Amino acid sequence: MEKLLNKVRKNKKYLLRKALVLNMRKIVTSYIKPDIDGISSMYAYTEYLRKKGFEAEYYYEGTARKEVEIVLATYNINLKNINKIKEDDEVILVDTNGLKGLPNAINESQIKEVIDHHRKTNWLSKQKGVKVQIELIGAAATLIAEKFKNDKINISKESAILLYNGIISNTMNLKISMTSEKDKEMAKWLKKQCKEITDKKTKEIFIKKSDIIDRLREEMEVEFKDEFITISWSMGQLEIADVEGFLEKYEKNIRAVLNIVKNENNVEFISVNCMDIINGYTIIVAENEPTATVISKAINVKFEGLKARINKLVSRKEIVKVIREIYKK
């Protein structure tokens, strides 16, 4: 009889703990001014958690990137961002795994889970009690889509559309070398879940993303301080339908912005990676000779007039990976 009573008491305690966890609101967030991979991962993982029985919301700060606006408008999707994070909320990070660039409303102690596809930061390496899923693949959206598929949870058309675009954007339509088989598999699966996703719409989105001159500086302002390397270095990335035509019109503008960003942020080496997402080539524009030398050494390309052409798509992440190995701390 006593054994039975002990079993009942233990079961009650377990159910109480479970109820407390379920009642604690979960906030899914990413870095300030998120791109489509960050937004899609926030949106869809919130849906996933709700369907698993949790109270969940997504939250972001700053204006989302232009590509997010384009995807939302193309598919007529609305985002409903919450206004405030409470002190007792649990925070989940997606598409990022460090403290740098997080919303100001986030307290470090609130972070309980991380889902990301970037290299683990020094901060995360020191954390205990944080649930971590990091896979060095093309997109965080791939990991979120996989959760729906593996758990056989029905995914809304909105989440399917956003996650698909997160994968396609991050992997340059599944063409760059960092694209994994899992990225391809999940993109294919998401497309099957929503008939509204078409190749025609994907191409239209890529073309619309090319019209970025009005927001050029915002698109190029990326991580200025890399905690993994010894040099002060930054590389922006532009995804354009016609790089050569774009540079004919706007190379002077690009160089002016590079110079301004370099001086304002005290960055020694700075460049922009221009990827032609339709024709499949890359042109790197360096701000100065030292920057061109660093990149030449890293990926073995030849610069002429502070520009280097590569006859395939090479993403900023691929170049960053090599530079980190050469100049690692």
Whole-prediction pTM: 0.79
Domain CATH code at residue 46: 3.90.1640.10
Residues of the domain holding 95:
2-206
Q: Report the chain's mean pLDDT, rounded to a whole number.
A: 87
Q: 3-state SS of the chain: helix, strand, coil percent to 5?
A: 50, 15, 35
Note whether 82 and 185 are same-domain residues: yes
Note whether 176 and 283 are same-domain residues: no
Note whether 150 and 256 are same-domain residues: no
The CA distance from 320 to 255, in Å, is: 20
Note whether 163 and 271 are same-domain residues: no
User: According to the model, what pLDDT value does residue 188 have?
Assistant: 98
Which tens digits make up the pLDDT trace of 157-174? Answer: 999 999 999 999 999 899
Q: DSSP string covering 31-48, please?
A: SSS--HHHHHHHHHHHHH
Note whether 236 and 200 are same-domain residues: no
Instruction: Say if residue 26's pLDDT is above 90.
Output: yes
The CA distance from 19 to 313, in Å, is: 49
How are beta strands 281-286 and 269-276 bridged, if at all? antiparallel
Note whether 180 and 264 are same-domain residues: no
Q: Report the number of distinct structural domains present in the chain.
A: 2
Note whether 234 and 167 are same-domain residues: no
Note whether 106 and 87 are same-domain residues: yes
Which tens digits make up the pLDDT trace of 54-65? Answer: 999 999 998 888
Note whether 177 and 292 are same-domain residues: no
With beta carbons less than 8 A apart as the criterion, state whether 234 and 267 touch.
Answer: yes
The domain boundary, picked from 206, 239, 265, lies at: 206
The domain boundary, picked from 181, 206, 231, lies at: 206
The CA distance from 64 to 153, in Å, is: 28
CB-based contacts of 245, cutoff 8 Å, min separation 6: none
Task: Report residue 209's pLDDT band, with 50, 70 and 90 as the boundaries.
Answer: confident
